Structure 1
């Protein structure tokens, strides 16, 4: 499709920007004196650019019938709002009566005359009474009758004998009849008294057919002071003249009087003007006014004729309008209902290249502003809009509300000079311009920037909501979503991008207000010069400190988010390692914000995890395998902090209103409560999106210096936060709730069963699984109990017993099941259990359990067995002779990587028991034997020697 600029070409003065305010203001006196622009001065040019509206057609028909003595109203009153086209209509009558060319050259007039049943309209004398042309107290020199306007403007064209006119009736008589006509009212003009109905009737009869055009009467009459007489007469004498003229013209069949009056008291001016308007309304009130205001559809043609050349490529225009209509049908209910009607296509064609929505907003909303002229104001505004769009090489298919270049100073000034102060800041900050929020948003979001979606939405809202009287007119303020879309959408586009832009703007802009849920189609949006509390919110956001207020709010939110996670016995949010218990419970530790996880640089989080695993306050942690960690995503953390500040800010505003510390109107209170609720709902979602990294310590190799921290991302969009956390733990076996006996057997074989000791305490495995990261992380002791019960029922995994004494298992079972997990339960390697079972059935052939993994031909073992057997034969006498044990000596080799944990365990479970006897004397000697095949470095030697001295080592020799 072609853009509008290739189909509708503006007039030269619009393109050049040489139009002036005065050129849009029809001036009766300027035309009468020959000083008006060509399009107003020349009759043919005037009607070429004038669209004859329904009201103008009726009025011209009445005038033509009256001048032709075919009836018609003698007195016609024109009364509409400011800028309603009254003066333009008077000019149409003026050119019809004073034309110097055939009627056929006046565009639109021949058809009008034919419909009125006339063959022709006689030329007539015209008197123009312009209340703004003269002052009541200053006589003026009459212009010579018959002298051309161009000649009259020079001194040579002046009549030296022309009288000095004092009153409106003197001017009327001079314009109709020159010196002869003036002689009929000369005395009345001199003394300032009304000439009366009879004299005026004689005057009109003498110079009929004639037309009297009276404009701005109120502006003239209101200048007379109370109780004073000026050269132009008095207040009462002028009202008497008007009344006498309306009575006289009724008596002359080919005379007609047309008078324009303002519609509102505001236009009348002072209290004196209001009184004059009321008096004139009573005078003309007896005559029915035939004037009809310009309809919106008629304005289409008025503006098009004045601003654009005639459209030659009608097919292209129709194709563009059809494309718009089809696009509206495709969007259906997302747009206003009138766009779904077939006649909306006709409106598009009639208004082209300006979209009908522009006219609707101007004529329905902007004309309610006092001082905005219905025709003149629209013409002047659109001329500046078209000039700027043409210079900007605008490529829109039509000029829509979203096309208005509000960033241009001339256009902005034209639209704001009648609005209350403060709109410049609204436009520059929120709507249009280099520093506007809309421009910034489009720069960050390419899909908005491609079609200027944010600016178009904001411009449309401004056009439809800026007039301050909209709310008082109907009680409904602003535009709904469908009408906003109508002001932006072009063929080939969808409303989705503009709808998204509207949602984003509703969250960002300081001066954009709404009266409901932004997702609802019935919600209305409008701009106001008062900030919508968003600026107050932005100011308050900066008051909250990240390390105190924001951190505390996030902590509360995360605690609620992960309040109940059945898989864990405890959840600790931002808790120091000293306050995370070191016990058997399975715990989730949420790392503080300072220790967020960054995929490319995870050290802050992983180092924190290692610190929790090592320390419990000032003491080493013994049950490190009971902790799993949750960390924030460093890349999302800033958004969470911002969402938290927003929630705190809105909450503080509502609190201040409730406590009486902040006074706002009801609409703002509704907005504050709505925004506070929305922010509180956003915060948990933002927290879940941020806390998405589950960090689990793992150690596949028991000899590794330190464990690895493996990250697992959580899905933040499905299910609940606790449910997703549990899912990741189960699927990745980070926490084991159900275990197989085969896995338990494999771990026992690897770490516990030895050739000289094929059994181990079941609880030893449980206790070690609490400590060592290379062992499985069981949810609870009951998981191990279930595995033992299942495994004990089979001969494939292990045998069980409740004690081992003198080479025999007490309570031995193998494949029988029915065991319970307690402190005495032993788990026996399956081959050893099998041998022990055979020994119970056939003691001669079976090997003793403690020797099933050694060579049967071990002579030393056989000697031990014989010695033990002979010892048993000595009997009870020998046992009685044995003395009580008085000394314990023990030694153990400790794996270097597990030294810290192992030594703590020895201290708790061996040394502490020995020291529990108050009579015991316990001495502990730690012996260290380190070998360096390649030789120890000087650094190690120096550091170890210094540390050994400070720790009080008795021997510390190097060899």
Structure 2
């Protein structure tokens, strides 16, 4: 039998369809409406009544207000006292728009009928005063047109009568004492017809401390004002007061709040008419009016509801007794397109949770459900408990927000989602998968059993109610019975007893696991486990070494590319400087106590700051389950077969969770770099960060992919890029060649240079550029001004050693030309420039000859070859004492290392420190400096007068 799906009959509001609804839109705010700043659906009277279902309680209340405003009776004081989220503010908004009279009554849906019953043909506009206990402050007066208003009665008088009305209570407002009943009667009479709306009065009154006077008066003076106001209202036949009070002591807040609630309830109770606006059955229409625009095919709607009612009647032994009553068909119609069982579970079970607001909580959850189902093209005849798309993150998060911690893995593992057991069962059983029987059953059990409270006498859903939430009229009931049987055997968190089923965050051995879990410490147990898993997860690939949680002194300072995985106590956060950057900077700058030179050979991986606590928690769970299983195998604990299976299954799940969480947590790749700014030197180290895909099959390949795509690591380098680096950093006007080994080593050291995978990449680049005259020339050394093994524009296989030189193209071309000329001259019997002249080959510029030199020695590049060989170097530099550490590191990098990389060069460094003080050095400082100098093995040190 085929039925029209709900999506073809009921049309959701646009904001629900698009998913643009906001949580705040479900919360009516009386003060914002009064100020004219509320959302359109609350601010506009026409839109408000279009989306408002006038319940029986609200109809009677509006009838009383209408009669009161027109002097035809009605109650002078109405107290709205319902549970949290029961619609108090929404009801007051209906009175507000009715009393303001901003649009004709005929445009307010459902209101004209109320006036007809009351015998009112025209409703006068009333003056409306709104007192919001949350917005008002007992000790922060407001200023209006030069008048300082301090108290509730001052605010009330101003709203009703302006400056003239305020004058009646000005003295009482200034002194913080309640005005008398007679004054309030005068105020109300002058302002009539008038409506006073007081919201969250307890929240205001509970702020007054005992015996303390604030600008808003005292605790007692505010209670006296309420008493006087309620009495005065009885004397003015066209004035009415609506006040909201919380239903329970818990909502009242502190002990002072409870006292305020008791006192206010007492004074209101003397004259009030108590209203409870929303009945449970009426909530069906409230939700439908807010979430759906209209029903466009009522005949199809009735056909669907009739099919369900008949289905339940035919299978009367499979479903709850109430479904056999004729009234259940009416319930189906009233709730359409949502199944009544959804409302029953939400209003009966979920509303018992501390933070779940009856109407507003249902609206928020169902709006997300409908949006996702519409987006996915759901074709169910009704939106049932089994239809809830808990695979959707928004829906799942909205549901588990109200629940104790631990439900997310329950849903993900057992109920819904691609990794859920229900999906796995359906993928292997086409009969169950064709109707999503396992998912529908698990979702139903979740909705009916997740909101467990301590006062529940019996836990779980009866079998009949599970079938009611999952079964469809077009499919046999037996499919869903079979699905439930499969779930009992497979699901980890599903419990059953006495024909009832429930999901829990704890498996059977959860308590034992939690006890053991607390034994494990971060550094002794958790970190080594994470380290072991990480080490198993990586393959070396492009890296010469992978260092997991390694101290800086144990990370080699060599030419190999190295990946450093930072420990969990150094996580990364995008929000700003994090522990990861600090720890990585320490390793980058130092190898133990020594400075690190090959800084451009380090790449870092760090855990996400927001995920690391969950990772550690999951590791503790894994360790606990592992210990339980080990103890069971060693006969240290006794488990029955079911518990043993549960323990093994829990261990497997915990191990998989740890593996997944490690991937999800360690998802940040950090790469250091520096900017070289002309005339300003090097910038501080800049950390670039990139996310890793936790779902990638091969983690090492994923790291390599991110490195390559973001040009953090070069595996193939074009010669043109090498020439650009040489031109920018190595060749200068007076230096036309550079050691290739120096260039390679500098790329390993300097963070502003490209990071190459290894020296083979560099050698391949050299070879690729050898045959072209556009990039560089080669030589295997330079002796007496001549290039040894010179090659330019020819196939060349360079060997990367200390003798290999890279020559600037123009200089190489000039040298090649000079070689050619010299060869031609040699073949012609000599040079034309003069007898006995010997050709020299410059490194750049024009050739020069012996005849050009006044000394008679030939030159290369303008440097006389005959001059003395420089065998020693001496240099002195003064360091800024504040920046000495950085400056000395620069000296080592830029000067000292230029000598130390050459074989046979001996370098001696001496440090001279001079300190002067006009006032002299005290004994403590002298002792400290002498002791430190001794430890550091200074050759000479002394203080002088």
Q: TM-score normalised to the size of structure 2?
A: 0.54
Does the C-alpha gap of structure 1 residues 51 and 670 become closer, same or farther in structure 2, counting only changes over 3 Å?
Answer: farther
TM-superposition CA deviations, 1:406-460 (whole Å, max 9, x none) = 1111111111112111111211111111111111111121111111111111111
SS in 2 for 1:290: strand
Instruction: Name 2:480's counterpart in structure 1.
Output: 498
**1:57: how far off?**
1.0
Q: Is the aligned partner of 1:185 residue 2:169?
A: yes
**1:162: how far off?**
4.0
SS in 2 for 1:96: helix
**1:287: how far off?**
3.5
TM-superposition CA deviations, 1:808-865 (whole Å, max 9, x none) = xxxxxxxxxxxxxxxxxxxxxxxxxxxxxxxxxxxxxxxxxxxxxxxxxxxxxxxxxx
Equivalent residues of 1:4, 1:398 under 8 A apart: yes
SS in 2 for 1:30: helix
Write the mapping of 1:203-242 to structure 2, written as runs, cut at 5 A.
Answer: 203-242=187-226
Instruction: Name 1:454's counterpart in structure 2.
Output: 438
Equivalent residues of 1:512, 1:525 under 8 A apart: yes
Instruction: Name 2:500's counterpart in structure 1.
Output: 524
323-332 or 24-33, which moves further after superposition? Answer: 323-332
Equivalent residues of 1:510, 1:532 under 8 A apart: no
32-41 or 506-515, which moves further after superposition? Answer: 506-515
SS in 2 for 1:448: helix
TM-superposition CA deviations, 1:863-887 (whole Å, max 9, x none) = xxxxxxxxxxxxxxxxxxxxxxxxx
Does the C-alpha gap of structure 1 residues 330 and 128 become closer, same or farther in structure 2, counting only changes over 3 Å?
Answer: same
1:488 paired residue among 470, 480, 489: 470
Q: Is the aligned partner of 1:363 residue 2:339?
A: no
SS in 1 for 2:217: coil
**1:534: how far off?**
9.3
1:515 paired residue among 497, 519, 544: 497
Write the mapping of 1:794-873 to structure 2, written as runs, cut at 5 A.
Answer: none
Does the C-alpha gap of structure 1 residues 460 and 337 become closer, same or farther in structure 2, counting only changes over 3 Å?
Answer: same
Does the C-alpha gap of structure 1 residues 34 and 113 become closer, same or farther in structure 2, counting only changes over 3 Å?
Answer: same
**1:66: how far off?**
1.0
Equivalent residues of 1:402, 1:488 under 8 A apart: yes
Equivalent residues of 1:510, 1:535 under 8 A apart: no
Equivalent residues of 2:101, 2:126 under 8 A apart: no
1:472 paired residue among 447, 450, 455: 455
Q: Distance in 2 between matches of 1:204 and 1:323?
A: 58
Q: Distance in 1 between matches of 2:462 and 2:644?
A: 21
Q: Distance in 2 between matches of 1:326 and 1:243?
A: 57
Structure 2 residue runs of 5 or longer lacking an equivalent are 514-624, 648-945
Q: Distance in 2 between matches of 1:660 and 1:90?
A: 66
**1:507: how far off?**
2.1
**1:290: how far off?**
3.4
Write the mapping of 1:539-688 to structure 2, written as runs, cut at 5 A.
Answer: none
Equivalent residues of 1:510, 1:533 under 8 A apart: no
Q: Is the aligned partner of 1:168 residue 2:144?
A: no
1:80 paired residue among 66, 79, 82: 82
**1:295: how far off?**
2.1
Write the mapping of 1:80-99 to structure 2, written as runs, cut at 5 A.
Answer: 80-99=82-101
Q: Distance in 1 between matches of 2:636 and 2:252?
A: 45
Equivalent residues of 1:113, 1:119 under 8 A apart: yes
Does the C-alpha gap of structure 1 residues 534 and 181 become closer, same or farther in structure 2, counting only changes over 3 Å?
Answer: closer
Q: Distance in 1 between matches of 2:354 and 2:372?
A: 26
Does the C-alpha gap of structure 1 residues 660 and 366 become closer, same or farther in structure 2, counting only changes over 3 Å?
Answer: farther
Aligned Cα RMSD in Å?
A: 2.6
**Residues matched between the structures, number:** 530
**1:83: how far off?**
0.4
Does the C-alpha gap of structure 1 residues 464 and 289 become closer, same or farther in structure 2, counting only changes over 3 Å?
Answer: farther
Instruction: Name 1:104's counterpart in structure 2.
Output: 106
Write the mapping of 1:675-754 to structure 2, written as runs, cut at 5 A.
Answer: none
1:19 paired residue among 15, 18, 21: 21
**1:675: how far off?**
11
Does the C-alpha gap of structure 1 residues 487 and 535 become closer, same or farther in structure 2, counting only changes over 3 Å?
Answer: farther
**1:38: how far off?**
1.5
Equivalent residues of 2:452, 2:459 under 8 A apart: no
**1:329: how far off?**
1.7
Q: Distance in 2 between matches of 1:386 and 1:275?
A: 43
TM-superposition CA deviations, 1:781-815 (whole Å, max 9, x none) = xxxxxxxxxxxxxxxxxxxxxxxxxxxxxxxxxxx
**1:198: how far off?**
1.4
Equivalent residues of 1:167, 1:189 under 8 A apart: yes
Q: TM-score normalised to the size of structure 1?
A: 0.53
Instruction: Name 2:126's counterpart in structure 1.
Output: 124
TM-superposition CA deviations, 1:112-160 (whole Å, max 9, x none) = 2222333333221110001111211111233xxxxxxxxxxxxxxxxxx
Q: Distance in 1 between matches of 2:78 and 2:219?
A: 22
Instruction: Name 1:436's counterpart in structure 2.
Output: 420
Q: Is the aligned partner of 1:317 residue 2:301?
A: yes
Equivalent residues of 1:77, 1:287 under 8 A apart: no
Instruction: Name 1:813's counterpart in structure 2.
Output: none
Equivalent residues of 1:134, 1:140 under 8 A apart: no
**1:304: how far off?**
0.8
Q: Distance in 2 between matches of 1:437 and 1:536?
A: 24
SS in 2 for 1:263: coil
Q: Distance in 1 between matches of 2:483 and 2:247?
A: 42
Does the C-alpha gap of structure 1 residues 670 and 340 become closer, same or farther in structure 2, counting only changes over 3 Å?
Answer: farther
**1:196: how far off?**
2.0
Equivalent residues of 2:80, 2:277 under 8 A apart: no
Q: Distance in 2 between matches of 1:388 and 1:248?
A: 53
Q: Distance in 1 between matches of 2:409 and 2:121?
A: 60
Instruction: Name 1:47's counterpart in structure 2.
Output: 49
Q: Distance in 1 between matches of 2:476 and 2:272?
A: 51
Instruction: Name 1:133's counterpart in structure 2.
Output: 135
Equivalent residues of 2:332, 2:339 under 8 A apart: yes
Q: Distance in 2 between matches of 1:110 and 1:504?
A: 56
1:65 paired residue among 67, 70, 84: 67
Q: Distance in 1 between matches of 2:147 and 2:188?
A: 20
Equivalent residues of 1:59, 1:290 under 8 A apart: no
Q: Is the aligned partner of 1:306 residue 2:290?
A: yes
Write the mapping of 1:934-949 to structure 2, written as runs, cut at 5 A.
Answer: none
1:352 paired residue among 336, 357, 367: 336
